[in-house]
């Protein structure tokens, strides 16, 4: 097993979940594959980076933004849960999917990943205050849906 493969194996599931939260499950594999292939094609090894997890997460975030720019007319679609007892409201899910990519990334890492604002900031290379601002903006939008 190569170092590249070891690094990839270590982080691939986390990257996939993150990518799925940003672009939807259908395109997550494309985003992750593109990121890793591009790094290798540039002559880099995943083992080159001092903080490979942070590098890869930022790369996925950037690729997700490119993905959205390229497919602006086709937003990510996730079918609502089939389980009638599921607690996910389709309108809430739709609102989450319509958040700008950065807000979606930050809310995913905080609310699903259980990270704090400083931890998210360190991972994505943003100030904690910026992370909090994204959270606030995202919450405002979601509250509009919930209150509506």
Partner 1 sequence: MADTGTSFRRAYQAVVDRTPPAPGWEAIDAPPAPVRRPARRPVPRWVLAAAAAGLLLAVLGGGALLGLDGDPGPASTTPAAAVEAPPATGTPTPTAADAVAADPQPVPLAPRTARASSELSEDFKARYLIDGTPRAWNDDSLRGEGAVLTFWFAEPVDLDYIVIHNLTEPERFARNYRIAEFELLADGEPILVATVPDAPGPHPYDVGRRATEVTLGVLEVYPAEAFDGSPPFEELAVAEVEFQGSAPAP
Residues 70-89 that bind partner 1 (CB under 8 A): 70, 78-81, 86-89
- Residue 10 binding partner 1, by CB under 8 A: no
- Residue 65 binding partner 1, by CB under 8 A: yes
Selected from 48, 52, 73, 84, the binder of partner 1 by CB under 8 A is: 48
Closest CB to partner 1 among 75 and 112?
Answer: 112
Sign of CA dihedral 37, 14, 84, 107: negative
Integer CA distances (angstroms), 101 to 5, 61, 66, 85, in order: 28, 8, 10, 29
- Residue 60 binding partner 1, by CB under 8 A: no
Minimum separation from the CB atom of position 30 to partner 1 (A)? 9
Closest CA to 7 of 51, 39, 52, 37: 52
Minimum separation from the CB atom of position 125 to partner 1 (A)? 2
Minimum separation from the CB atom of position 85 to partner 1 (A)? 12
Length of the chain counted residue by residue: 148
Q: Looking only at residues 17 through 46 of this chain, which bind partner 1 when binding is defined by CB under 8 A? A: 17, 20-21, 24-25, 28-29, 32-34, 36-42, 44
Q: Six-digit token pair at 127?
A: 């100030």
Selected from 3, 47, 62, 98, the binder of partner 1 by CB under 8 A is: 62
Selected from 3, 8, 74, 75, the binder of partner 1 by CB under 8 A is: 8
Q: How many CA atoms lie within 13 A of 26 on its CB side?
A: 7
C-alpha–C-alpha distance, residues 46 and 37, integer Å: 10
Tell me how far apart the terminal alpha carbons of the chain are, to the nearest angstrom.
Answer: 53
């Amino acid at each position: 097993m190569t170092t590249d493969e070891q690094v990839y194996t270590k982080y691939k599931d986390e990257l996939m979940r993150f990518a799925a939260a940003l672009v939807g499950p259908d395109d997550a594999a494309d985003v992750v594959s593109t990121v890793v292939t591009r790094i290798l094609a540039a002559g880099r090894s995943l083992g080159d980076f001092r903080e490979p997890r942070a590098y890869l997460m930022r790369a996925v975030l950037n690729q997700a933004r490119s993905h959205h720019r390229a497919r602006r007319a086709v937003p990510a679609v996730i079918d609502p849960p089939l389980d009638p007892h599921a607690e996910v409201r389709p309108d809430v899910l739709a609102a989450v999917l319509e958040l700008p990519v950065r807000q979606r990334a930050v809310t995913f890492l905080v609310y699903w990943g259980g990270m704090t604002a400083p931890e998210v900031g360190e991972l994505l290379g943003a100030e904690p205050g910026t992370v909090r601002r994204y959270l606030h903006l995202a919450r405002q939008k979601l509250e509009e849906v919930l209150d509506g």
